[in-house]
């Protein structure tokens, strides 16, 4: 079931499965800003990554002496969220631990997701609460896919990313779903990353430690800015496209894929957050629309 937020200029739709964005549409032009999830290419649109980001080595991890299996990006994206509150400009989803989740993740958690439509911006807030009597390891991240209309030669190279300040960033390569340890310098005191198909032949681009507060997706043909993502505070940033597809994902993460030499112990996993019993963790990102 779709749930709608709207104002005089924008209509935003979400669904209960995964608490996922399904549409961002301009009322005046009818233009759709979100990838529409072609199952022949990639069925996702803006999945929420929880309680892990990326893939686990052998799709499993160890916690408190036991081994648990979990698929890439965790189970929240396929879980049914409850609608806790809704009006025209705000929507609050909630997900709580149950017998199905504890088979994969033995912690008593609450995940709240709030969408707010404010003029030409969508603010998304995640709150993770540990209802357990022990520390809770988790990661969380966003994965929105923005539609990129093809203009000239049907290539992603018609678009580029603009960072809000010059960056010196290495790309951390993924091999078979795991961080390989191989790196490549992509930005050297630069604020622009020109996108082209070869960048995505070896899976997603992963950056660590960006300093920019915003990343913009811009059409090179005429300089039109499509969206601007507020990614401040996130330690990892993923950029992804399935080769040849008409979308670009801009993904702020609190967490990352396992490394090839991972021990499998969840508390030792890079990027994992350890939340004390009874405490909450909150993070947010914004999508500014043009």
- φ, ψ of residue 10 to 5 degrees: the values are -135, 150
Kind and range of the H or E run holding 192: strand 178-194
Give the C-alpha separation, 194 to 38, whole Å.
25
Neighbours of 281 (CB within 10 A): 17
Distance, in Å, from the CA atom of 174 to the CA atom of 166, rounded to the nearest integer, reads 24
Q: Which of 150, 125, 16 is nearest to 80 (CA)?
A: 16
- The reported pLDDT for the residue numbered 220 is 83
| Closest alpha carbon to 281 in 15, 40, 51, 47 | 51
pLDDT in tens, 91-136: 999 999 999 999 999 999 999 999 999 999 999 999 999 999 999 9
Per DSSP, the residues of 12-45 read EEEETBTTEEEEEEETTT--B-B----TTT---S
pLDDT tier, 158 (very low <50, low <70, confident <90, very high otherwise): confident
Q: Which domains does the chain have, with CATH numbers?
A: 2-289 (2.70.98.10)
Which residues on adjacent β-strands are paired with residue 236? 208, 253
Structure-block tokens of residue 274? 């350890």
pLDDT for 243: 78
pLDDT at 38 over 70: yes
List b or e across 28-67, with b for residues whose CB sees 16 or more CB atoms inside 10 angstroms.
Answer: eeeeebbbeeeeeebebbbbbbbbbbbbbbeeebebeeee
pLDDT digits (tens, 9 = 90+) for 242-288: 877 899 999 999 999 999 999 999 999 999 999 999 999 999 999 99
d(CA 139, CA 55): 12
pLDDT in tens, 185-230: 999 999 999 998 889 999 999 999 999 999 999 988 788 899 999 9
pLDDT at 196: 85
Q: Give the closest residue to 82 by CA, choosing from 73, 74, 92.
A: 92
């Amino acid at each position: 079931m779709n749930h709608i937020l709207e104002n005089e200029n924008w209509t935003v739709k979400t669904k209960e499965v995964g608490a996922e964005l399904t549409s961002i549409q301009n009322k005046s032009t009818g233009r759709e800003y979100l990838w529409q999830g072609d199952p022949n290419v990639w069925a996702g649109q803006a999945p929420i990554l929880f309680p892990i980001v990326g893939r686990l080595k052998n799709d499993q991890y160890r916690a408190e002496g036991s081994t648990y299996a979990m698929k890439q990006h965790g189970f929240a994206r396929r879980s049914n969220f409850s609608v806790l509150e809704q009006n025209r400009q705000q929507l609050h989803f909630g997900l709580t631990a149950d017998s199905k989740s504890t088979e994969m993740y033995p912690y008593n958690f609450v995940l709240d997701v709030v969408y707010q439509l404010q003029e030409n911006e969508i603010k998304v807030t995640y709150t993770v609460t540990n209802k357990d009597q022990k520390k809770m390891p988790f990661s969380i991240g966003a994965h929105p896919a923005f539609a990129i209309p093809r203009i000239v030669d049907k290539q992603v190279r018609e678009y580029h990313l603009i960072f809000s300040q010059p960056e010196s960033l290495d790309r951390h390569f993924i091999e078979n779903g795991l961080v390989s340890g191989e790196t490549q310098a992509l930005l050297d005191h630069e604020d622009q990353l020109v996108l082209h198909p070869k960048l995505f032949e070896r899976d997603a681009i992963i950056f660590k430690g960006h300093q920019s507060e915003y990343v913009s997706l811009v059409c090179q043909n005429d300089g039109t800015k499509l969206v601007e993502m507020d990614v401040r505070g996130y330690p990892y940033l993923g950029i992804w496209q399935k080769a040849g597809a008409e979308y670009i994902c801009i993904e702020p993460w609190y967490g990352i894929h396992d490394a090839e030499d991972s021990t499998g112990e969840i508390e030792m996993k890079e990027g994992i957050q350890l939340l004390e019993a009874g405490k909450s963790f909150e993070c947010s990102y914004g999508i500014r629309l043009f």
